[in-house]
Amino acid sequence: MRDLMFLCHRIPYPPDKGDKIRAYHLIEHLRARFRVHLGCFIDDPADAVHLPALRARVASLGCFPLDPRRARLRALWRCRPGMPLLTGYFHDPALASWVDATVREQGVSQIVVFSAAMAQYADRISGMPKLLDFVDIDSEKFAAYGRTSAWPKRLVWAREGRTLLAYERAAVRRFDRSLFVSEAERGHFTRLAPESEALTMAIGNGVDLDYFSPDFAGASPLPVGRKIILFTGAMDYRPNIEAVRWFVDEVMPDLGAFDPLFVIVGSNPGPAVLGLAREGSVMVTGRVADTRPYLARADLVVAPLQIGRGVQNKVLEAMAMARPVLATSAAFTGIAAVAGRDLLVADGAACWIDQAVSVLAGRHGAMGMAARLAVEARHSWARALAPLDAVLGVPAPVGTMEEQVSA
């Protein structure tokens, strides 16, 4: 096997939230074809317990602590005209040294970089193919923050959006190929950077269809006899925070006839989310080891994101468990499904209320199974990642699902 380096901005294990899920499945795909040398940061000390399991999956591991407070100070210290803060945030001489040593000592022949902010480490290496997975278009995310924030944050985020876009455009030119999670995302980027058209492609997200199954039979901690509305996601992520606040303020008051319990499941909820808790109507769980007991009990899973980048794993997971999903257009982006049959898509409070009422009233009984069939057909990880082999110049291992999909 050839040796490949995989660099990502966050420890990709356990695969319990958006970027970590995609990174984990990419690594699983790659390690069937390469000896994978993984370099990453660990920004949550609680994740250190998972290092042995991660180390067992790769040929070598360089995992470096990243303290968010110090990283923010470093980003400010390293900031120069035209330089985005995000690259300074993820700048670490220790990781750079590990990259140099591993390439030299292990005979690395290809590099895959996960997140544009990590492209700075591949700039040190020449003479081998380089692949960049954008995961999200970070420049657009910060530009959106700039459009919706109050002064002075508006100025900071707008500047970050501009400088990151310039950085991302330059990064695409330095890599052999750059990946986006959907054709919609790729199209959005190429409209901003027309010169990147021939250097980009879409590799979508998948879902673990065996793990997220409607056959899940575990006990649920949620009350029996209540209509359950569920949201899952990292609750220290601004778009998720804004999504649940919007839902509680704009939609929940009009659903009282069904006496629903809105359950917010996800790690690191801050005061803005914890303050939404209402006895009998809104529950905030914090981090849970397994979201399936919550998903299995949900009468409606919601994805009310007003700012959405990439493909929402939370939507795919709920669909895989045959739950009715109500999403905004932003959260629906990149999902290969039929709106109105496989899930509901709506924008604006009035439309959301109408659609939520229709689900809670039992008018979409067949939607859950339609959702499951849609992700089975179009969103397995094997199908999603099969095109990657041609980009990397390797055949799918004999007998794998990827080989069958490619055939």
pLDDT, residue 18, reads 81
Q: pLDDT digits over 304-356, tens only?
A: 998 876 678 999 999 999 999 999 999 998 899 999 999 999 999 999 999 99
| pTM score of the predicted model | 0.88
Q: What is the pLDDT of residue 404?
A: 47
Token couple for 161: 């959006």
**Is 2-206+380-406's fold the same as 228-378's?**
yes
Domain parsing of the chain, residue ranges:
2-206+380-406, 228-378
pLDDT tens, position by position, 360-405: 999 999 999 999 999 999 999 999 999 999 999 988 776 555 544 4
- Write the class of the CATH domain 2-206+380-406: alpha beta
pLDDT in tens, 243-252: 999 999 999 9
Which numeric CATH code is attached to 228-378?
3.40.50.2000
